[in-house]
Structure 1
């Protein structure tokens, strides 16, 4: 193992022997950060072994698995946060130390503490070639649109601000309105973080876009419309979801014409975010109304496809279909391989950092639900897995809000708002 001290806060290294973690703790290190994906080479200890060895040695453990070409801003953010929050020095490793140092250098540039032209000399001064980090920075600087993700750990959701750098106009995708099911409390912390970012960047909001009526969190679309005046939109088949849930809730007052949104998108519809062209794919299967937004070189797929290490969405909600989901996924995978794919949830398999960006090419090669798969096998896999899953804990809460574009129930005579629960309406009890 080669170890290189970068600062009082950071040392980067090649693969250490987990038997040495106790020695690292004795030397004063407080955090062991593993930047290697499992299975890179035979004999690699791997995430599970390193995590247990770190715990046994009294070290905090963080898993930020990356490949050089596959580094995303979420990985950089996770690396930065680890160093910022650590109660002492961080020992970060990959196979050689280069990826760990690249994550650090990219973060320094993005935060303005280092210039792009300083990256390669900085790497050479520590014995590393950081040309890959410079290529990453150059590639990201040319991206259009610019995409900022906001991860909500309570609902495992990612919300997005999608910006045209030429005009500073933006769209908000799948924003979250805070809800605590135990106390019944509501809040706007997630939505306000988005608004703070928009104000800090000097952006103008054109669109507030939902990909479908969510079953696991409330939509903040209505709240954000009140704050920004931007247009709200969702897929046109939301009317089918409204009619379905009108019956489940026995809710004759619910308008089922989609009039709660400013625009209902159908397959093939086009629009713009500033000067960036966008179009709509109809992507049912997870729900009746799911759509994907192709904006510039990016596609926002929410629950249709997860990160490559996490598979695909369930298809057992009312109106869902694994067969239909497979067809929707194939349309997404027909986009160019370099298309950026942004998912709506991340459940952090193996305890890794939250991630939300991949590419069409990576999904084809690495997603076990898609690589080498055909429709028959996919449907069998998806149906078998879905039978083991309980209903989302917020589905009966959320659909009352999200079939109305994020509007809370009207206050009753005592000034309080109330949700209505149908008993025994859905299968999938937790027991």
Structure 2
């Protein structure tokens, strides 16, 4: 098998055959990383065949498909995690080995173990062109703000810490309060992980932002406000969502003025994150109240546009609408092509590692729901797809918390809190 040893724990090389994958354990390898997107060329085995062959070999397998133009920090961190999880030496491949090695050296550079000049020297010694890694690092240093994503595997949600390197001020976007519907248990593990990151990074929380009232997880906005003192914010049309769900829950005492948050943002409103200008874009369609936060060159597009291989978000929740969603997406795609887009969920098609960052240009070129698609075709596709989707398992649990900015129900006489949800309230939903 053609491969290049990088160190004791990593070798990279070109596309292996399935028989070569099956022999990796015999050559002392504990894991395989496939960094090649499917269908780059007809002869490649592909993700499913490689996963099966790795299983037969008894080695770990991770699918982190990238192109040089679309590598993100999430891909780099997924590569590092796959190396650790393997518990031994890993063979990583793409078509030639260049992308696999690029993922490795970018991780070394981001963690301060390798300088740009060392990346260039390594590439020259190995005969592998690593100039794309140097360009990536140069571009990464220019990004404002800095963005760190935290993927929650239980809900497939992505939480963000968005920071200004000049002032060390940050915002937390769409934080998750952990909830287990089987036991009724509430924990703050996800939110505490974010707080630990903030403390370790020397950041000060300036904002706690939700893009909309979520249907698939509880918001940790109130918990984080209590811990940090930072103000909470959401889109002003949350009052329409409150009014809608007050009727669904038969909850006449619910305040429907949005006063549960410290600030309600309207379309076009601006604010500051440290020294970085931020603007709010109304982006309804998935929900009535959905907004996009445009902070510097980064747009947090919530459940509107997913990664290109996953398309777009559903529009069949109460108050949702496919044609409204289309118009919101078009507004987002009018941003400059290099604008970074950060999505709110990732469902890992093909079992690939979680991803959450793309660009406007990439979405225009590669999103199957959007590229070359008309409004009429999009609405038809979206509505047909939504009719097949069961409701999120936590929608009736979560909305009564999230339309109150993450506040849990008040304890009753016995000291316990109780959720309430109606039966047969979402008529016509797929099972």
Under TM normalisation by the shorter chain, which class is it?
A: over 0.9
Cα deviations by residue, 1:370-399 (Å, 9 ceiling, x for unpaired)? 000000000000000000000000000000
Cα displacement (A) at 1:112: 1.9
Cα deviations by residue, 1:165-200 (Å, 9 ceiling, x for unpaired)? 111111111000110111100011111111111111
Return the alpha-carbon distance in structure 2 between the equivalents of residues 321 and 22 of structure 1.
48
Give yes or no for the alignment of 1:271 onto 2:276. no
Give yes or no for the alignment of 1:425 onto 2:425. yes
Which residue does the alignment assign to 2:219? 219
Cα displacement (A) at 1:138: 1.0
Return the alpha-carbon distance in structure 1 between the equivalents of residues 331 and 59 of structure 2.
45
Which residue does the alignment assign to 2:176? 176
Does structure 2 conserve the Cα–Cα contact (< 8 Å) formed by 1:389 and 1:428?
no
Which residue does the alignment assign to 1:286? 286
Cα displacement (A) at 1:19: 1.6
Which residue does the alignment assign to 1:164? 164
Cα displacement (A) at 1:429: 4.9
Cα deviations by residue, 1:290-323 (Å, 9 ceiling, x for unpaired)? 0000000010011000000000000000010001
Return the alpha-carbon distance in structure 2 between the equivalents of residues 169 and 232 of structure 1.
15
Unpaired runs of at least 5, structure 2: none
Cα displacement (A) at 1:421: 1.4
Query: SS at 1:379's partner residue?
Result: helix
Cα displacement (A) at 1:214: 0.1
Cα deviations by residue, 1:72-118 (Å, 9 ceiling, x for unpaired)? 00000011111112122111000100111111011011112222221
Return the alpha-carbon distance in structure 2 between the equivalents of residues 430 and 188 of structure 1.
31
Which residue does the alignment assign to 2:232? 232
Return the alpha-carbon distance in structure 2 between the equivalents of residues 428 and 351 of structure 1.
30
Cα deviations by residue, 1:13-67 (Å, 9 ceiling, x for unpaired)? 1011112122212112111110001121222211111111211222221000000
- Pick which of 59-68 and 118-127 moved more: 118-127
Query: SS at 1:147's partner residue?
Result: strand
Return the alpha-carbon distance in structure 1 between the equivalents of residues 273 and 353 of structure 2.
30
Which residue does the alignment assign to 2:150? 150
Query: SS at 1:373's partner residue?
Result: coil
Cα deviations by residue, 1:217-265 (Å, 9 ceiling, x for unpaired)? 0000011111111111000000000000000000011100000001110
- Pick which of 361-370 and 108-117 moved more: 108-117
Length-normalised TM-score, structure 1: 0.98
Which residue does the alignment assign to 2:90? 90
Query: SS at 2:68's partner residue?
Result: coil
Query: SS at 1:292's partner residue?
Result: strand
Return the alpha-carbon distance in structure 2 between the equivalents of residues 44 and 229 of structure 1.
53
Unpaired runs of at least 5, structure 1: none
Which residue does the alignment assign to 1:7? 7
Give yes or no for the alignment of 1:112 onto 2:112. yes
